[in-house]
Each structure stands twice: as C-alpha cells, then as structure tokens.
C-alpha cells in the first residue's frame, strides 16, 4: 500500500569534482610577406577565447584560441619596432572521473607566460603556458518527503535543514562594440598589442530576469604610418538580460563573463579610430534559500514500512562577497626620466589563500609591465616590477571544509610619473568571492506499507543502553515510541541517555492516539 505523502522539491547544483592542470600551447608562426624579417621579439601578449565546451563521461573538453600580438625588432636599420597579430588554436581534454554528460562545469584559464623564440628571419616559435582550472557541478532535481499524511501511528525522525536550492540557470551572448577614437593626426599602420579586462560587475533582478552589467576595459597600442607609438583606451559598457523564471531579489546569483571572440579593425576613414567588437558569453545561476523539514527515518509500531534511504549532498550557507584591495605604491624606474610612458600591463595573481578564524586571508602579487619610450631603434623599453598585496576578508562560519571560489580583476589603474623616475602606482583589485558548504542529508524514497506479521507478545521489556544507542533506535527496535519510553522512564531530555542505563520499554498502545 502506497502511503500518502507531502513532498518538497530540491534542486542540487553541487561541486562534485575539480581539477587544475598546466597546459602548454605551442606552434610556429610565419612572418607575413609584407612584414620585415624579425631580429628579436620585444614583447608578446595574448587573450584567451574559448569558443566550445563539451562534457563527456569521465572527460571535459575545451576548444579555443589564444589571440597573440608579437612586438619585434626588425632585421634592418631603417625600420622601428613592428608587430604581428596571429593566433594559436588549442584543444584540451581533461580527465575527471566524476564527469557525466548531464553535468555542467566552469573553467578559468590564466596565461602564466608566453615565450617567443626566433627560428629564422621569417619564422618564430610561440610557447604559451596556461593554467586551466575546472569545477564540475551536478544538477539534480529531487522530491523530498517532508510529511506523512493519514497515518497517525507513524513514528518520524525529522530534521530541519537550511539549504540552497538551484532556482535556475541561464546563458546569453552579448556584444561590446565601439569605434575607439584616436588622435586626429594618427594613421594606424599596425596594432601592436591589445589588453582586455572586465570590471565593475553588478546585477539587478526583476520580472523573471537577471540584468548583468559590467565594463570591458580596452587598451590598444598601435604604430602610426609615420612610425610613432600611441595608445587608445576605452571603457565599454556590457549589459545583458538572462531569463530565469521566478528569480527574485532574495535569491543569490552567480554571474560569469567569458570572452568568446574579438574583432579589431583600424578605421583610417571618416570615423578615424579603431573598431572593436567582443563577443561575451554571460552565464547566471540563481539559488534560493530554503528551510526544509526532511524525514531522516521512520517506522510504524503496528505495520511493516518498506522504504529506501539515499544519501545526498546539498549546498548550504551560500554567500557571495565583494572586497577591494587598494594598492598605492611608488616605484622607481630611472630610465623613464624624460620619456613617455606608453602603457602598463597589470596582471594580478593570488599566490595563497588560507581560511583562519572566520576569515579568508589572501596573499599575492601584481605584475606591472611598464612600456615606455626609448632612445634606441626599437623605440620602446620594457621593465617589469612586482608589488605584493594582502587581503583579509571576514566570512562568518567559514571553515576548511567550505567550498571557495575567488575571481580577481584590476579596475582602477593610474600611473603618474614624478621626479627622478619615481612612478606613483594606484591600482584597485576587485575580489569576487563565493563561499558555500556541502551538507550530507539522508532522504526517504520508495515508501510503502504492509500489515505487520510480527506479534508483540510482551507488555514491557527491560533494556540496558549500549554504546552508540539512541532512544530513536531503541524505540524502533522494539516497535515502541520515544514518547512512551521517556514517559515511563521519566527522561527529561531524549537526547541524553547513558551507557548501561536501565530502560523500561513499554508496548505501543493505540489508546494514546485517541
């Protein structure tokens, strides 16, 4: 006989696996016929675009490309610094035992270094060293029995849990487009390098939609037709709507931005600028906080109850935190005196994160690559300086078993040259921190009832408490109830019994339910 029950829905989106791998992408690049021979490389930078993701049983696959800008000194005396724009395609398959086709995953790719080696005047070898981090999520909708109806003699072991149930997940593609103005006298000959970074992320929730907003920060260094170096900058608003039914302001939303493709075109016509078009994938996952009454165990003193128990891991205590590190330091580069500072590449990196006493403590370095005017034929000098940073963020109830995800980006970037080669460096580092815990919960499934064939030919049993016993287990074993045992034995707290304690176990009586 099937028992009438009341059920609640819980959608679990739980981290079930994670992996970090160092990957090297290598390839040879031919110098185009219209470019002079290469003598040596001055600087190489790149942007990673992942255009395809796939999850299979036991594996995760990423397909993408690294868009590269190589600045080099040509092998002749007449030309100044030149550049090459090229790309390296890559496919990386990561073995993750827990991976299944119906799961989702998040990836973070960091370019650690790019090496450019000259093979001959017309060919270079590129070796890009990347760190690929993948987090794997299961997504399962479960119906949990919270109440038993029309069975008054059923004994229930209940527990109340606060969990984070996934409300929904959505993805959309947005485009950041702009014609970035350049100086009127400039005619762009070559794009020498490009840097992209997304900052000032924010969301607003209304009408079953999540509005995600951010800024795409663009810096482009270019060479003019009359052999001058200049820099164009812009901050392009990025905005997109993600549809998630029933989402509300009380929900917690994780939002991720992933650059899929970038198009860059100089316009030396009436618009006179550099056109950029970046395709960005915007993904949002919304979670609702639920307080759920979950039946952990049950039995009937009079009937045979058949069911299955299953252990699940639910997310709880989810919290998103934003914090900021302001770096105000002065560095000295004597070589820059009297010369123009073209650009500074800012690359923040976390070297360690530790959980201590309701705090997360981060240590890291910001690599600053200064590019400035030079008196040499190359026209440009480069100097790299590292500045340390530290952040301590308060997070209540966090411990070493907590799930922790951190994203860091540089927003404000100001560099002011003073006297004697002193440079005031002002950099704001935005931290996005996601914290949650995994909680193991037992749930009841496939519940049905039969008339009992066991006869209780006793009215009272004497039992001595053994190690590990609980009143619930004792009552279930003898088909009594916790209420009857505590009443007969004068027990005030059902959770406090002692090993060796003598208990009188009374036979269950229907009369008590009248």
Task: Please tell me the predicted confidence (pLDDT) of residue 186.
Answer: 92
DSSP assignments along 210-251, one per residue: EEEEEEEEEEEEEEETTS-EEEEEEEEEEEEEEE-TT--TTS
pLDDT bin (cut points 50, 70, 90) of residue 355 is very high
Task: Please tell me the predicted confidence (pLDDT) of residue 242.
Answer: 95
Residue 416 vs residues 28, 210, 330, 365, 366: alpha-carbon distances, Å: 39, 39, 9, 20, 17
Task: Please tell me the predicted confidence (pLDDT) of residue 512.
Answer: 46
Does the pLDDT at position 368 exceed 90? Answer: yes
Burial of 392 (0-12, 13-18, 19+ CB in 10 A): exposed
**How far apart are the C-alpha atoms of 362 and 431, rounded to whole Å?**
10
Q: What is the pLDDT of residues 400-446, one digit of tens each?
A: 889 888 999 998 899 999 888 899 999 999 999 999 998 888 888 88
pLDDT bin (cut points 50, 70, 90) of residue 513 is very low
* pTM for this entry: 0.85
Q: What is the pLDDT of residues 38-84, one digit of tens each?
A: 999 999 999 999 999 999 999 999 999 999 999 999 988 666 889 99
Residue whose structure tokens are 């969990």: 163
Task: Please tell me the predicted confidence (pLDDT) of residue 343.
Answer: 93
Mean pLDDT of 463-488: 92
Most confident of 148-152, 301-305, 460-464: 460-464
Does the pLDDT at position 5 exceed 90? Answer: no
pLDDT bin (cut points 50, 70, 90) of residue 1 is low
Task: Please tell me the predicted confidence (pLDDT) of residue 455.
Answer: 59
Task: Please tell me the predicted confidence (pLDDT) of residue 514.
Answer: 38
**How far apart are the C-alpha atoms of 60 and 96, rounded to whole Å?**
7
Mean pLDDT of 235-246: 95
Does the pLDDT at position 511 exceed 60? Answer: no
CB atoms within 10 A of CB 394: 11
Does the pLDDT at position 488 exceed 60? Answer: yes
**How far apart are the C-alpha atoms of 339 and 125, rounded to whole Å?**
32
Mean pLDDT of 489-514: 81
pLDDT bin (cut points 50, 70, 90) of residue 241 is very high
Q: What is the pLDDT of residues 157-192, one digit of tens each?
A: 988 889 999 999 999 999 999 999 999 899 999 999
Round the average pLDDT of the chain to a whole number and report it: 90
Please name each of the domains of the chain with its CATH number. 11-142 (no CATH), 166-290 (no CATH), 300-452 (no CATH), 455-513 (3.10.350.10)
């Amino acid at each position: 006989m099937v028992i009438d029950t009341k059920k609640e829905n819980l959608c679990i989106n739980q981290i079930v696996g994670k992996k970090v791998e160092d990957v090297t992408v290598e390839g040879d690049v031919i110098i185009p016929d219209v470019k002079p021979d290469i003598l040596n490389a001055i600087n190489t930078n790149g942007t990673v675009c992942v255009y395809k993701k796939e999850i299979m049983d036991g594996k995760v696959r990423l397909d993408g490309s690294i868009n590269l800008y190589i600045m080099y000194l040509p092998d002749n005396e007449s030309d100044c610094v030149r550049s090459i724009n090229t790309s390296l395609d890559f496919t990386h398959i990561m073995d993750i035992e827990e991976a299944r086709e119906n799961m989702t995953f998040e990836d973070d790719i960091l370019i650690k270094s790019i090496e450019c080696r000259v093979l001959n005047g017309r060919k270079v070898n590129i070796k890009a060293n990347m760190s690929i981090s993948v987090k794997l999520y299961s997504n399962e909708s479960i119906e949990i029995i919270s109440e038993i109806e029309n069975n008054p003699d059923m004994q229930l072991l209940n527990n109340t849990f606060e969990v984070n149930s996934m409300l929904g997940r959505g993805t959309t593609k947005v485009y950041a487009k702009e014609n970035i103005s350049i100086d009127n006298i400039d005619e762009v000959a070559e794009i020498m390098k490009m840097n992209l970074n997304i900052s000032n992320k924010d969301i607003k929730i209304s009408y079953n939609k999540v509005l995600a907003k951010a800024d795409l920060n663009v810096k482009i260094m270019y060479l003019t037709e009359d052999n001058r170096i200049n820099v164009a900058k812009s901050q392009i608003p990025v905005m997109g709507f993600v549809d998630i039914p029933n989402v509300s302001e009380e929900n917690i939303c994780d939002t991720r931005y992933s650059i899929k493709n970038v198009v860059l075109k100089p316009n030396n016509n009436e618009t006179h600028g550099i056109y950029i078009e970046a395709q960005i994938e915007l993904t949002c996952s919304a979670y609702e906080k639920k307080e759920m009454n979950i039946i952990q165990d049950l039995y009937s003193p009079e009937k045979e109850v058949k069911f299955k128990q299953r252990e699940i891991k639910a997310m709880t205590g989810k919290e998103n935190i934003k914090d900021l590190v302001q770096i105000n330091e002065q560095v000295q580069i004597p070589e820059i005196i009297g010369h123009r500072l073209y650009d500074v590449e800012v690359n923040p990196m976390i070297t360690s994160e530790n959980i201590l006493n309701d705090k997360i403590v981060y240590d890291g370095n910001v690599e600053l690559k200064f590019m400035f005017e030079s008196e040499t034929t190359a026209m440009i000098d480069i100097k790299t300086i590292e500045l340390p940073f530290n952040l301590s963020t308060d997070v209540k109830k966090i411990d070493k078993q907590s799930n922790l995800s951190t994203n860091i980006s540089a927003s404000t970037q100001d560099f002011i040259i003073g006297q004697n080669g002193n440079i005031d460096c002002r950099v704001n580092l935005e931290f996005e921190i996601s914290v949650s815990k995994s909680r193991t919960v037992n749930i009841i499934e496939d519940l049905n009832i039969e008339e009992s064939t066991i006869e209780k030919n006793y009215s009272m049993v004497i039992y001595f408490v053994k190690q590990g016993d609980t009143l619930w287990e004792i009552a279930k074993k003898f088909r009594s109830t916790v209420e009857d045992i505590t009443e007969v034995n004068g027990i005030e707290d059902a959770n406090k019994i002692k090993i060796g304690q003598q208990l009188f176990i009374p036979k269950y009586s229907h009369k008590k339910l009248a």
